[in-house]
Chains A and B, each alone.
Chain A
Amino acid sequence: MASLELRNVNKRYGQGQADTLKNINLSIDSGEFLILVGPSGCGKSTLMNCIAGLENISGGEILVEDQPISGMSPKDRDIAMVFQSYALYPTMSVRDNIAFGLKMRKVPQARIDEEVERVAKLLQIEHLLHRKPSQLSGGQQQRVAMGRALARRPKIYLFDEPLSNLDAKLRVEMRTEIKLMHQRLKTTTVYVTHDQIEAMTLGDKVAVMKDGIIQQFATPQEIYNSPANLFVASFIGSPPMNFIPLRLQRQGARWVAVLDSGQDRYELPLSVEDGQSLEGREVILGIRPEQITAANEGGPALRAEVQVVEPTGPDTLVFVSLNEVKVCCRLAPDAAPRAGESLALQFDPDRVLLFDANTGERLSKAPEHIPAGQSGNIAQFAAR
């Protein structure tokens, strides 16, 4: 296993065209699981192909174990890849598929047999070894594709959306299995996906990409709790974070965000450091659905009319209108009202975020990381 580092990697498809990848800087330690996540066309697959050597980079350097590899051909990089379409060789049996990479590397036949047995056992596909890929189910093909990568014991594993061709149930199963496999084998892995749940569940580190730029590179928890900008905030989390554009108001020494449900007004009090010039500035308030809950008896609350109720089972999504924006709240099923009823809501002010309406950058940082009063340029919300 090996560490992987990308330094200022650039990729451009020919003169005059926009950069597909812009100054990518990433680094993971040996055995870590890196997720590249983003919408389609964000450059995540290109980046993966660049790491594999299937495409050349236009600038920067890729290092494995601190050795530059960007001049090497794919076969010399010692990297294995699992493809979205599995890319199993259709005319070869499962055994030959797994053995192919070893044969190409002129590994002695006895060793090849050994490796195939080991991998087949690991993935529980021993009974499929003589079959052709077309005789396998999607999940089985997926396993063979992983087996092909594992047999070579490469320095780095690349997964290119390996689960997106599976049906929903199998996808969840295989997700767990990949995680289990990684925990056992401690392989350095780069995993491309557009699925934010896979990103959250599998990764040690997550790089959120958009338009060829890394928007944020952090642990899943950091990405979820303190997204760097509106894009990351909206991309990670389901149902997505609510965004309410508003202007903060000064109330004596404090800033408040005024929320209006049409039938009620609520002043969400914020305490902001002096010198923070938010006067008249347009900001976007970001609240995750689970941070809006049914109010406790007697506590401060905002009454709002329930517009739509969507029970999902474990919890119920309730939609209300705040400042003329549709806002999703995640309630416990027993607390859920019916459409048309009025509901008292309370907010988890510690975790509410503020974004600059113009740049989309986050203004506040997550409270648990920045102790109150320590930072000068940060708007903080006081608890009540």
Chain B
Amino acid sequence: MSNAALQPRLSAGRIAIYATLLLACAVYLIPLIVMLLTSFKTPDDIRTGNLLTLPESFTVIGWVKAWAAVNGYFWNSVKIVVPAVLISTLLGALNGYVLSMWRFRGSQLFFGLLLFGCFLPFQVILLPASFTLGKLGLANTTTGLVLVHVVYGLAFTTLFFRNFYVSVPEALVRAARLDGAGFFTIFGRILLPMSVPIIMVCLIWQFTQIWNDFLFGVVFASGDTQPVTVALNNLVNTSTGAKQYNVDMAAAMIAGLPTLVVYVLAGKYFLRGLTSGAVKG
């Protein structure tokens, strides 16, 4: 509620407001700065300096070691994320289309049942899901993780598209039906072209969710098939050998960079995903 009537004037109050906001900025930024600083230090440097001292001798050895340790897992994550995001978004779009434009008896009930999936604590499905993956021969495969992410991402992707299409006038579909278009023609020619914003929201939401996932990765994958989050955790929390904080921080940056980059490039859609997921989810 930025209000024209509330004329900002440079007063002690406003200075205090700016000071508070900037202090908060510092608090939010410091962990990132510390990570970056640490990742470019040598282990000796880390021991002698402190969190915010600049590197004595700037080195990328941490990044090199970190990349060597996690790059295979990084590509695992890519292999999981790309198909899982695309499939779950497509399914969500089709579901949302049916649930908004082609409602039938029971479709609302189904939507309700699906919505609950947004709240589902995944612990409650881990065991049956791992049995099923085993039966399907997909245990410890990236394909298995793709499947799991598609299934449990469906609630949100459907919600996004359904809520978007509900705001599209039904008359559009009626007009197209009178014009002679069928189910898929209406979807492909009329609704999808106008869905670009919600497709972005959905893609970004799914990308961050799946990239950042740890639970499914640690439960359903092992060894070579693990995603980068699991690899990072293994790297950081192994008790063997001396702690190499520069490598840890570089690895954390590597694991965090893809979502950070997406956030910086498409923050608008990211926020919309968060808040629209929040309205119902």
Contacts from A to B (Cβ < 8 Å): 49, 52-54, 74-75, 79-81, 83-87, 89-92, 100-101, 104-105, 148, 152
Contacts and interface: CB of A to CB of B under 8 A. Distances in A.
A84 B174 CA distance: 12
Contact of A85 (B169, B181, B185, B193): B169
Given A75-B180, A91-B193, A105-B180, A83 B185 contact: no
B172 A81 contact: no
Contact of A84 (B171, B176, B185, B189): B171
B180 A83 contact: no
Interface string B225-238: 00000000000000
B44 interface: no
Given A83-B171, A87-B172, A74 B177 contact: yes
Contact of A54 (B177, B182, B193): B177
Interface in B158-189: 169, 171-172, 174-182, 185, 189
Contact of B194 (A53, A86, A91): A91
B178 A74 contact: yes
Which 9 pairs, one residue from A and one from B, show the smallest C-beta to C-beta distance? A101-B179, A104-B180, A87-B171, A91-B193, A75-B180, A87-B175, A83-B171, A74-B177, A87-B172
Contacts of A104: 179-181, 185
Interface in B174-222: 174-182, 185, 189-190, 193-194
Contact of B175 (A49, A83, A91, A105): A83
B190 A89 contact: yes
B192 to A, nearest CB: 9
A81 B180 contact: no
Contacts of A84: 171
Given A85-B169, A87-B172, A91-B190, A100 B178 contact: no
Contact of B172 (A52, A54, A79, A89): A89
Contacts of A80: 178
A233 B174 CA distance: 34
Interface in B7-40: none
Nearest to B181: A104
A126 B232 CA distance: 62
Contact of A100 (B174, B179, B182, B194): B179
Nearest to A83: B171
Contacts of B174: 49, 52, 54, 74, 81, 83, 87
Given A54-B174, A83-B171, A87-B172, A101 B193 contact: no
B178 A79 contact: yes
Nearest to B179: A101
